[in-house]
Structure 1
């Protein structure tokens, strides 16, 4: 199995190192000091489950790699439309793209069935720009439940979680999903193939759609947001509105809002990825988290006044950050 990790940051390098340990032919695409360190020393993984080093090929030029069986996409979703020159050299006719993104994916309605079959979500696939680069037929969904961070160039700190749930848009148990899952498990990770992966997408989104924008607006950690009564109530309302949109699309995730809040509180003083991006002056990945659900509320007729309010304010913050 030949795998390219496009965007070998904290999550991508962690997955690449695990797959390399399983015997896969792994190639990491990165840049800057992180790339230089991986070229010289490999990927060093520091984990409560045991430290290890994976010495695998790393490059900034996908043309050095050539076509692969799987591309693990570790880029932020707001980079997808522009990744054409990077991903094109990696593709052959049956290359699968494992899209490890937060939020609503561009392929959501591909082979979904029902009245919205094939609908394009403008906020995540503006003008079809993402679908033009990443054909939905290549997509395998992936919901990441692992937490990692780059402790330094070439050094990944694994904090918690090892589950990477994957699934086909058409809900089938495909051979490509089975092969990728087997390799991930051999590398020490959990990788269940979920026919109803959209349920996992909504469960994770419950946290991302609320905690991520609020953390950026309030400059607050997970624990601080959960313990502040008014903010906790706003987050609860946002989660309930999100579940109502999911239900209107025929998806009812098996989780309660209170349970989701309790889990978030246990995380402690963690800064969300959106807050970290804000602090580093990076673009805020809010379209797939928040704008997409507001758009889905429009097509389903579900009232989401609190989501709309937080989206309006956080969108202004995102525009100011990008300026």
Structure 2
């Protein structure tokens, strides 16, 4: 079997970590980066520090793909997805498998709404850009962040789930082998949607709350008020997931999981501290949209969003501002 050509679109913490692990294992991988990050990687290599220790990885890095690849990992945040895809259409052929490693509800994740989830794909542009049959469902439990010198730091084992977006859909066997060889523990799921809901419950319970309180995951677990609020937020996602036919249980083990994660600062907390817009659309707005379609009440989620808007008005888009 020929090894797949792999591109990582997005040189943020997760994209960089994934690219470095694959490159170190000998995969045919190219990282797509821009601006100062592109220049830094070309000059210094891709610097990471994880449980295998510190190192700098040399790998191909480019500003845009010029020919189709076998697999395209999409590792950019929601607002940047469309522009990133349009800038790399030459890298997407009819046989390219696209693996979105995105937070919250992905754009392809819809049920019987009759249209894409508008919070993450307002006019259906992403649906038109990416054929559904080319999408490989994925959920990452990898965590990573940047040090001031651009080193990517990850302090927990690397874990990724891959699976069909439809029951009994095709399985990416060759890609799974590449990831396993790179030291990434893999859940070869029969069906990815329940795992998307589980990851959403974790994101929805912690990311916006961390941006509001300034707390790390361990601090949320240790603070009775924050832990109670996080648990209530996770339970709302559990109810919503069950309404869409995917029962999950996350809230019972939430405190223990947050404690184990330690002093991890969520990406939304980092964005809040840097004055950047918060990635609420896939984590908060999309669940509220899906809840409205099924008549599910989510008062804790709505209250958290209102609190964020009061504290960080310039960084927080109102749910009412989502196109309908």
Normalising by structure 1, what TM-score? 0.89
Q: Quick one: distance in 2 between partners of 1:223 and 1:22?
A: 32
Q: Select the residue among 118, 122, 133 that pairs with 1:126.
A: 122
- In the alignment, which residue of structure 2 is the partner of 1:259? 253
Q: In 2, are the aligned partners of 1:105 and 1:288 still within 8 Å (CA)? A: yes
Q: In 2, are the aligned partners of 1:284 and 1:318 still within 8 Å (CA)? A: no
Q: Quick one: distance in 2 between partners of 1:80 and 1:278?
A: 20
Q: Quick one: distance in 1 between partners of 2:202 and 2:250?
A: 12
- In the alignment, which residue of structure 1 is the partner of 2:85? 84
Question: Which secondary structure state, in structure 2, belongs to the residue aligned with residue 126 of structure 1?
Answer: coil
Q: Select the residue among 192, 196, 203 that pairs with 2:187.
A: 192
- In the alignment, which residue of structure 2 is the partner of 1:202? 197
Normalising by structure 2, what TM-score? 0.89
- In the alignment, which residue of structure 1 is the partner of 2:100? 99
Q: In 2, are the aligned partners of 1:38 and 1:153 still within 8 Å (CA)? A: no
Aligned pairs for 1:137-152 (under 5 A) are 137-151=133-147
Relative to 1, partners in 2 of residues 1:305 and 1:167: Cα closer, same or farther, differing over 3 Å?
A: same
Q: Quick one: distance in 1 between partners of 2:227 and 2:94?
A: 48
- Which is worse superposed, 239-248 or 122-131? 122-131
Question: Which secondary structure state, in structure 1, belongs to the residue aligned with residue 80 of structure 2?
Answer: helix
CA shift, 1:317, in A, is 5.8
Q: Select the residue among 280, 296, 311 that pairs with 2:305.
A: 311
Relative to 1, partners in 2 of residues 1:154 and 1:59: Cα closer, same or farther, differing over 3 Å?
A: farther
Q: In 1, are the aligned partners of 2:176 and 2:186 still within 8 Å (CA)? A: yes
Deviations 1:218-256 (A, max 9, x none): 222223322332332222221111100000101012x34
Relative to 1, partners in 2 of residues 1:167 and 1:223: Cα closer, same or farther, differing over 3 Å?
A: same
Is structure 2 residue 5 aligned with structure 1 residue 2? yes
Relative to 1, partners in 2 of residues 1:38 and 1:141: Cα closer, same or farther, differing over 3 Å?
A: same
Q: Quick one: distance in 1 between partners of 2:167 and 2:57?
A: 33
Is structure 2 residue 280 aligned with structure 1 residue 277? no
Q: Select the residue among 227, 233, 240 that pairs with 1:238.
A: 233
- In the alignment, which residue of structure 2 is the partner of 1:68? 69
Moved >4 Å (runs of 4+): 315-319
Aligned pairs for 1:283-322 (under 5 A) are 283-315=277-309, 320-321=314-315
Deviations 1:166-193 (A, max 9, x none): 1121133525x11111111112212222
Q: Quick one: distance in 1 between partners of 2:44 and 2:177?
A: 27
Q: Quick one: distance in 2 between partners of 1:308 and 1:320?
A: 18
Q: Quick one: distance in 2 between partners of 1:14 and 1:154?
A: 12
Q: Select the residue among 26, 33, 43 that pairs with 2:29.
A: 26
Q: Quick one: distance in 1 between partners of 2:37 and 2:73?
A: 18
CA shift, 1:42, in A, is 2.5
Relative to 1, partners in 2 of residues 1:246 and 1:224: Cα closer, same or farther, differing over 3 Å?
A: same
Q: Select the residue among 224, 227, 245 that pairs with 1:229.
A: 224
- Which is worse superposed, 296-305 or 41-50? 41-50
How many residues get paired?
Answer: 314
Q: In 2, are the aligned partners of 1:178 and 1:193 still within 8 Å (CA)? A: no
Q: In 2, are the aligned partners of 1:173 and 1:193 still within 8 Å (CA)? A: no
Deviations 1:56-88 (A, max 9, x none): 11111323xx21111111101221122233221
Relative to 1, partners in 2 of residues 1:147 and 1:217: Cα closer, same or farther, differing over 3 Å?
A: same
Gaps of 5+ in 1: none
